[in-house]
Amino acid sequence: MVKKINIKHPVMEYLAIAFGAAMMAMGIGVFLVDAKVVPGGVSGLAMAFHYLSGNKIPVGVLMWILNIPLFLWGLKELGKNFAMRTFVGFSLNSLFIDLFRGDIPGLNFIRLQDLPAIQDLRDNDFLFLILIGSVLLGVGLGIIFKFKGTTAGSDIIASIMHKRFGTKPGQAIMFTDFFVITFAGIIIGMKNLSPDKPALSLTLYAFFLLFISSRLIDVIIDGFDYARAAYIISDKGEEIAEAIMKEMGRGITAIKTRSVFTNSEREMILAVVPMRELSQMNEIVKEIDPQAFVIIHNVHEVLGKGFRRRI
C-alpha cells in the first residue's frame, strides 16, 4: 500500500516560509534599498535608519533588532501560538537581506545589488525595477502568510490593536505603513540621498509599491475566492462557536439541522472567514472536536462588517 505524503508536514511548511523569506529579502535587499523606495512596516523603518546611519548599519540587522521588542510584545499579548513561525520568518528575512547584499562578514563578494542587470534597471528603467521588487516582496510575504508564518512588524501591531481596541487589521497596517513611508521620505529629502530623483517622487513610488505588493499578497493567500464559508457539525458546537468568536472576532450563525441517518437534531455552525484565517479556524475546530464534520465552500464576495468589497 502506497503511503500518502502529507504536504502539510511542519518541515515542509518551514521550508516554504524560508523560500518566501528569501523572495521577500530579494525584493527588498536587491531591488529597493539602493533605489531608495521604502516599503511599509519594520522593513521600511529599518531602511530609513540604514540611510540615517550613512549606510553603515546593515538593513537586515536593523530589521531584526526592531522586530525583537515587537516580537516580545506580541508574545505577551497574543500568546505562544504564533511565536516560532514568527521568529523564524523575520529572522530568515533579515538574514537573507544581509546575505544578498553582501553585508555578512566573509560573504562580502555576493552583493547582488551590484549586478550589471540591476544597475541597468536602476539607471534606465526605474519603474520596472520597482515593479520587480514589489512582485518579489508581495509574493514572498504571501507565501509566508499562506503557510501560517509572519514577519512580525506591523502584523503584530495590527493584531494587538485589533485585540485591544477592535481596530480592523487592514486599517492598522495601512496607518503604520503610511507613517513609515512618509518618515522615510522626509529622511531621504533632508539628507538629499537621491539627487537625481526628488524625495516626493520616491515616496509616491513607495505608495505604488505598497499597493502592488498588498494586492499580490491577497492573490497568493486568497486566490480568486478570497473567503471561505464553513459549515461545522459537532456535538461541541457551542464551544467551537465561542472559541471562534473570542479568538478570531468572527460572527457565528447557528442553523437547526436534523440528521436523517440518526434522526437526531443539532445546531450546525456557519462561519465566513477570510482565506488567511481558515487555517486558524480549522485548528480551533480540530482542537475542540477532532471528529467534527466540516464543509468548506469558496466564497467570491462577502458584503458586511469585517470584509472588504471586491474590486
Cβ atoms within 10 Å, residue 309: 8
Confidence of residue 213 (pLDDT cuts 50, 70, 90): confident
Question: Is a pLDDT exceeding 90 seen at residue 103?
Answer: yes
DSSP classification of residue 80: S
Measure the N-to-C terminal CA separation of the chain; round to a whole number of Å: 48
Confidence of residue 266 (pLDDT cuts 50, 70, 90): confident
Task: Quote the CA–CA distance of 179 and 237 in Å, as a whole number.
Answer: 43
In the numeric block, which cell numbers belong to residue 279? 487555517
Helices H / strands E in the chain, number of each: 11, 4
Task: Quote the CA–CA distance of 4 and 45 in Å, as a whole number.
Answer: 45
26-67: pLDDT as tens digits: 999 999 999 999 988 899 999 999 999 989 999 999 999 999
Which residues in the chain are classed under CATH 3.30.70.120? 227-299
What kind of fold does domain 227-299 have according to CATH? Alpha-Beta Plaits (3.30.70)
- Record the pTM: 0.70
Task: Quote the CA–CA distance of 26 and 136 in Å, as a whole number.
Answer: 7
Confidence of residue 3 (pLDDT cuts 50, 70, 90): very low
In the numeric block, which cell numbers belong to residue 154? 506591523
Residue from 65, 140, 73 nearest 100 by CA? 140
What stretch of H or E contains 124? helix 116-124
What pLDDT, on a 0 to 100 scale, did the predictor assign at position 6? 45
Confidence of residue 2 (pLDDT cuts 50, 70, 90): very low
152-184: pLDDT as tens digits: 777 677 667 766 776 665 566 777 888 889 988
